[in-house]
A and B are shown apart, each in its own frame.
Chain A
Amino acid sequence: MGENLLELRGLQTVFHTREGLVRAVDDVSLSVQPGEIIGIVGESGSGKSVSMMSMIKLISMPPGEIVKGEAIFEGQDILRYEQKSPELQRIRGGGISMIFQEPMTSLNPVMTIGQQIEESILLHLKYTKAQARARAIELLGMVGIPDPESRIDHYPNQFSGGMRQRVMIAMAISCNPKLLIADEATTALDVTTQEQILNLLRDIVRQTNMALIIITHNLSIIARYAQRIYVMYAGNIAEQGRSEELFYHPSHPYTMGLLRAIPRLDSDKSARLLSIPGAPLNPAQKTGCCPFAPRCPYAVDRCRQPVMPTPQIYSDTHRAACWFRREELHGGLALEKAHTHPVADKPLLEVRQLCKYFPVTKGITRRKVGDVKALDHVSFTIRQGETFGLVGESGCGKTTLAKTLLRLYDATSGEIIFKGQNIAPLKERHLRELRREVQFIFQDPYGSLDPRQTAGNVVGEAVRVHHLAKTRKEYERRIDELFTAVGLDPALKNRAPHEFSGGQRQRLCIASALASDPSFIICDEPISALDVSIQSQILNLLIDLQAERNLTYLFIAHDLSVVRHVSDRIMVMYLGTVMEIAPWQDLYEHPLHPYTKALLSAIPVPDPVVEANRPSAPIIGEVPSLINRPSGCVFHNRCPYATERCKKEFPPLQEVNEDHIVACFEWEKLI
């Protein structure tokens, strides 16, 4: 073990807010060595970003305040420096660089990317303007921006999200920093792009001996890249260790819970996901005891005393902040069998050649100059009682499909046959029954609830609209029933939605979807806005409800592991067209379409050994915009197997065997 590049000792950062003192970072110590990749994992509010940002004083002060701690970077305590001091400014960008989550907003929109990169170089390195520009071009080439000589004078809005993140990386590494912090750097990107960016970062670390800290909520990403991992919870480090130690011998109940709570590409689907009860602790409510105690299945009285547990040490690198050794933690987490649900052969919904085009208009006359083909000849069948998964990256038409099925959009052409009736051409007044039968759950539990109504009213709306209760008493009983069904206390029904946590809000959304007693529910990314430990709760709830109420789901998500966990059959879409439809085992074990294969390989698995042995076949490029939809097979420009034919002809959906359909000319050769 060499000299530490950075050593953080007992860092404590608080925020003075109206709700009181928030201990965002509470006695955090960590170390990084040159050339090392470490990961900091935690949910929202765990203090993972704040700890890094307070190190270089990027938090706003006030309300923030660094109470105590040391941050020894290259032998100096950088916490001593004032927020606006030149010493700290030299370290920022020069010694420690950061990449942030939102590539769309992290670059100054009114400066060219070249100016922004050169600005850093001129600031930290004694370069001339011409040298700086040359260096910027070199860096852009290095991070994989094609044609950097001309692209250097472009503005950020002329780049896609992935490309902007590459620019951010070029900027961050421009002054040869010793440490690069990637703060949720890939969270907003498509899976295939995410993989590219992380690979790029890893390669840079290998070449430059720079240290890299990856901050993320996604354990799976960490498994592939990080050598050591810190797990944070409510401002404290819960557990730390090398990747293998952490994944194979999790020693903190929280880490254990997390690992069991996330669906994995290789997990046993028949088992129910184990979820951590409750919601993450708000750091404002810390009492001084082990912050995980309220949710911990092993918690005893000692855990609730206001003393932080002394860490258990398992090796030089592995320690967990728990009163118990991991051998002592057993029971309470038995695997349960997941509910099974009968699937009928009868189709509930048949979609035939469905198209949805949005016109592109130009000029004052709003002359139509073309179409954005958001859905292009989409056909599939959903059977009664099944969960039909739909995966794809941004722009694949997931949400457009959901809205078209709900008849929030009018289809351009094609048929939507629901329970034997084509609902596509129906007029709004004939849709009443459809509205009752088909419900939806959207991604954002914050935006989809009317903040001025009580929770009970929100849930009961469908009951009132569809006159499903005859008396006031029956109405109230029904609402209580719905609250109970989704695991909420009916006593909470008079509260406003904002008083609920994210997970509870999504439960409210589910309850209001259930209120009209539907047979079909469209779930559009129902868990992606939730914290990791909450996601499994909601997934389990959805699975339970399906079994209880004989529901049919269309489950839309970008996360293939989640879709795999819940779905019976899965459809893969890309740029508005269907690529492949298959039962879940088939799709994951024998994917036929090159795009499906690429997607699957891009999904990280939270297992360092599995990850190390997986063949990585990253696809090139990013998802193009719908306006620049490629001709022929829409995937041909990113497909490693594309032929001349793929560029010209649109491959039809071919039936490989019963239930397995693929849209590729070459699939037979690829097996």
Chain B
Amino acid sequence: MGRFILKRLWQTLIILLLVSVVAFMLIQFIPGDPVYVMLGENISKEYHDTVYESMGLNQPLTTQYFNWLGNMLRGDMGYSYHFRKNVNQLIASRLPVTLTLGIISAVVSVVLGVFFGAVTAVKRGTATDTTLTVLANIGLATPSFWIAVLLVYIFSVKLGWLPAVGFTLPWVNFQKSIRQMILPVICMSMGGVASYTRQMRSSMLEVIHQDYVRTARSKGLPENKVIWRYAVKNSLIPILTMASTTLRGCIGGSAIIETMFNIVGMGQIMVIAINYCDYQLLQSSLFFMAGITCLCNLIVDIAYAYADPRIRLE
């Protein structure tokens, strides 16, 4: 197990290094002078030169890269010219928002998806199965922003039950936080719930026909134990591989939902960074998010190995 984690850590490191190169090259691909692109052409020459030098653009490419990487590793992610703040500060203030939303959405996706999937598989061929499967297919085919528009129209504009925008961290104002989170979490987890339902259903159906489930029945295990201890547990293994995608999607892919609900998290920050050509911010937050994603993958892989002794004991 230790060797397995070490191996995965090693792979993660290589991936991160590659990402850092790509993120770094971003700024190199900007046609023209990145400082002018970033700050507009109306700035004074002196200001331009200051920024140019502070970004280290006068140094050779490799030096720039290693300086940047070195800074990143030391925990200094640079300075955002749009926000006039250290990227560290910015991320520190925005990451909790995205993480809260992302983790809650991912958990909702997995829990509901697994539950619905198990129900549809056990009740295969019944009306419950058909309804849930059709709903899952619809959920999968519907883009999340469209769901967002629809839900906001119904629940906020027409019925006025839930706020249409905003975000409060749960430990700041719990009730408000919950009210504000309901719609974004639904939108972000919709696709996940749908795909987990489908995946779990087929996974369960496969497992239910496995010999060891028959063995469990032949032992005289009560049906609910057969389902939960044997079928669900084993079906969860392929689900776990999806979990990393979901977590990544929820954390990295929240830009649309964040924009729709006016939630200022990492996704919004990156959108703004792109809109205002804030390259240092973009570069660093990209790398940071890639790091988070790798971490998620690592955690899921370890969880996967833990769940499946066939992998753990390899």
Query: Which residues in window 259-314 of B have CB below 8 A to A?
Result: 307-310, 313
Query: Which residues in chain A, 99-132, are within 8 Å of chain B measured between CB atoms?
Result: 100, 102, 105-112, 119-120, 123-124
Contact yes or no, B220 A89, CB < 8 A:
yes
B309 touches A155 (CB 8 A): yes
**Shortest distance in angstroms between B305's beta carbon and chain A's nearest beta carbon?**
12
Judging by beta carbons under 8 Å apart, are B307 and A110 in contact? Answer: yes
A120 contacts B219, C-beta separation under 8 Å: yes
Q: Assess whether B217 is in contact with A92, with CB atoms less than 8 Å apart.
A: yes
The number of chain A residues with a CB under 8 A from chain B is: 34
Cβ of A109 and Cβ of B308 under 8 Å apart?
Answer: yes
Decide if A84 is an interface residue (CB 8 Å cutoff).
Answer: yes
Render B10-44 as a binary contact track against A, CB cut-off 8 A, 1 for contact: 11001000000000000000000000000000000
| Residue pair A106, B237 in contact (C-beta under 8 Å) | no
Asked if residues A108 and B212 are in contact (CB atoms below 8 Å), the reply is yes
Closest Cβ neighbor of B236 among chain A residues: A110
Closest CB-CB distance, A152 to chain B, in whole Å?
14
Q: B310 touching A107 by the CB < 8 A rule?
A: no
With A158-B313, A364-B10 already in contact, the answer to whether A106 and B219 are too (CB < 8 A) is no
B46 interface contact, C-beta 8 A: no
Chain B, residues 196-228, CB within 8 Å of chain A (1/0): the string is 000000000000001110111111111100000
The answer to whether A56 and B211 have CB atoms under 8 Å apart is no
- Distance from A88 Cβ to chain B, minimum over Cβ atoms (Å): 8
A110–B305 Cα gap in the complex (Å)? 11
Cβ of A338 within 8 Å of any chain B Cβ, yes or no, is: no
Is A157's beta carbon under 8 Å from chain B? yes
Question: What are the interface flags for B228-241 relative to A under an 8 Å C-beta threshold, 1 for contact and 0 otherwise?
Answer: 01100110010000
By a CB distance below 8 angstroms, the chain B residues around A111 are 229
Question: Shortest Cβ distance from A663 into chain B, in angstroms?
Answer: 34
Q: Report the Cα distance A155→B230, complex, angstroms.
A: 14
User: Which among B10, B11, B214, B233 is the interface contact of A106 at CB below 8 angstroms?
Assistant: B214
Residues of A within 8 A of B215 (CB): 98, 100, 106-108, 168, 171
The residues of A that contact B230 with a CB separation of less than 8 Å are 108
In angstroms, Cα B221 to Cα A86, docked, is 9
Report the Cα distance A70→B11, complex, angstroms.
Answer: 62
Q: Which of B219, B237, B313 sits near A92, CB closer than 8 Å?
A: B219
Check if B7 is an interface residue, CB within 8 A of chain A.
yes
- The answer to whether B219 and A110 touch across the interface, beta carbons within 8 angstroms, is no
Partner of A110, one of B7, B220, B222, B233: B233
Closest chain A residue, CB of each to CB of B212: A108
Whether B234 and A109, one on each chain, are in contact in the complex, defined by CB atoms closer than 8 angstroms, is yes
* CB–CB B310/A363 < 8 A: no
Asked whether A123 lies within 8 Å of B214 as measured between CB atoms, the reply is: no
Cβ contacts under 8 Å, A106 to chain B: 211-212, 214-215
> Does the CB pair A171–B211 fall under 8 Å?
no
Q: Are A108 and B216 in contact (CB under 8 A)?
A: yes
**B308 lies within 8 A of A171 (CB):** no
How far is it, in angstroms, between the C-alpha of A88 and the C-alpha of B217 when the chains are bound?
10
Q: B214 is contacted by which of A58, A88, A158, A364 (Cβ under 8 Å)?
A: A58
Complexed CA–CA distance, A221 and B184 (Å):
65
Q: Enumerate chain A residues within 8 angstroms of B308, measured Cβ to Cβ.
A: 109-110
> When the two chains form the complex, which single residue of B10, B218, B309 contacts A109, counting CB atoms closer than 8 Å?
B309
Chain B residues whose CB sits within 8 angstroms of the CB of A385 once the complex forms: none
> In the assembled complex, how far is the CB of residue B232 from the closest CB belonging to chain A, in whole angstroms?
11
Complex-state Cα separation, A171 to B310, whole angstroms: 21
Interface assignment of A97: CB less than 8 Å from any CB of chain B: yes
Among A90, A110, A111, max chain B CB count under 10 A is at A110
| B residues in contact with A93, CB < 8 Å | 218-221
- A100 touching B211 in the complex, CB below 8 Å, given contacts A108-B230, A109-B308: yes
* B residues less than 8 Å from A58 (CB atoms): 214, 217-218
Confirm or deny: A91 has a beta carbon within 8 angstroms of a beta carbon on chain B: yes
Could you tell me if B309 and A94 are in contact, using CB atoms closer than 8 angstroms? Answer: no
User: For B10, what are the chain A residues with a Cβ–Cβ distance below 8 Å?
Assistant: 364
Distance in Å: Cβ of A124 to nearest Cβ of chain B? 7
Verify A84–B214 contact, CB threshold 8 A: no
The minimal Cβ–Cβ distance linking B240 to chain A, given in whole angstroms, is: 11
Q: Is the CB of A89 within 8 A of B221?
A: yes
How far apart are the CA atoms of A415 and B214 in the complex, in Å? Answer: 49
Assess whether A109 is in contact with B211, with CB atoms less than 8 Å apart: no
Query: Are B222 and A89 in contact, with the CB atoms below 8 A?
Result: yes
Give A121's nearest chain B residue, CB to CB. Answer: B219
Interfacial chain A residues near B234, Cβ < 8 Å? 108-110
Residue of B nearest to A105 (CB): B211
Check if B309 sits within 8 Å of A119, measured CB to CB.
Answer: no
- Partner pick for B221 among A105, A110, A123, CB 8 A cutoff: A123
The chain B residue with its CB closest to the CB of A124 is B220
Given A106-B215, A110-B234, A110-B308: A123 and B220 interface contact (C-beta under 8 Å): yes
Nearest-Cβ distance from residue B17 to partner chain A, whole angstroms:
13
**Contact residues in B for A364 (Cβ distance below 8 Å):** 7, 10-11, 14
Interface hub of B219, B233, B308 (most chain A Cβ within 10 A): B219
Are A86 and B210 in contact, CB atoms less than 8 angstroms apart?
no
- Separation in Å of the B160 CB from the closest CB of chain A? 48
Least CB distance from B207 to A in Å reads: 10
* In the complex, chain A residues whose CB is within 8 Å of the CB of B211: 100, 102, 105-106
- How far apart are the CA atoms of A266 and B21 in the complex, in Å? 74
CB pair A109 B220 closer than 8 Å: no
What is the CB-to-nearest-CB distance from A603 to chain B, in angstroms, rounded to a whole number?
27
| A102 nearest CB across to chain B (Å) | 5
Interface string of A171-204 (1 = CB under 8 A from B): 1000000000000000000000000000000000
State the CA gap A93–B215 with chains docked (Å): 9
Residues of A within 8 A of B7 (CB): 363-364
Shortest Cβ gap from A121 to chain B (Å):
10
Given the interface pairs A105-B212, A363-B7, the reply to whether A92 lies near B307 with Cβ below 8 Å is no
Least CB distance, A49 to chain B, in whole angstroms: 11
Can you identify 22 A-B contacts, CB atoms within 8 angstroms? A56-B218, A91-B220, A92-B217, A92-B218, A92-B220, A94-B220, A98-B218, A100-B218, A106-B212, A108-B233, A110-B233, A110-B307, A110-B308, A119-B219, A120-B219, A120-B220, A155-B309, A155-B313, A157-B310, A171-B215, A364-B7, A364-B14
Beyond A86-B222, A120-B220, A364-B11, 17 additional pairs, beta carbon < 8 A? A90-B220, A92-B218, A94-B220, A97-B219, A100-B214, A100-B218, A106-B212, A108-B233, A108-B234, A109-B308, A109-B309, A109-B310, A110-B308, A119-B221, A155-B310, A157-B313, A158-B313
List 8 A-B pairs, minimum CB-CB distance, nearest first.
A92-B220, A93-B220, A155-B309, A93-B219, A105-B211, A106-B211, A89-B220, A98-B218
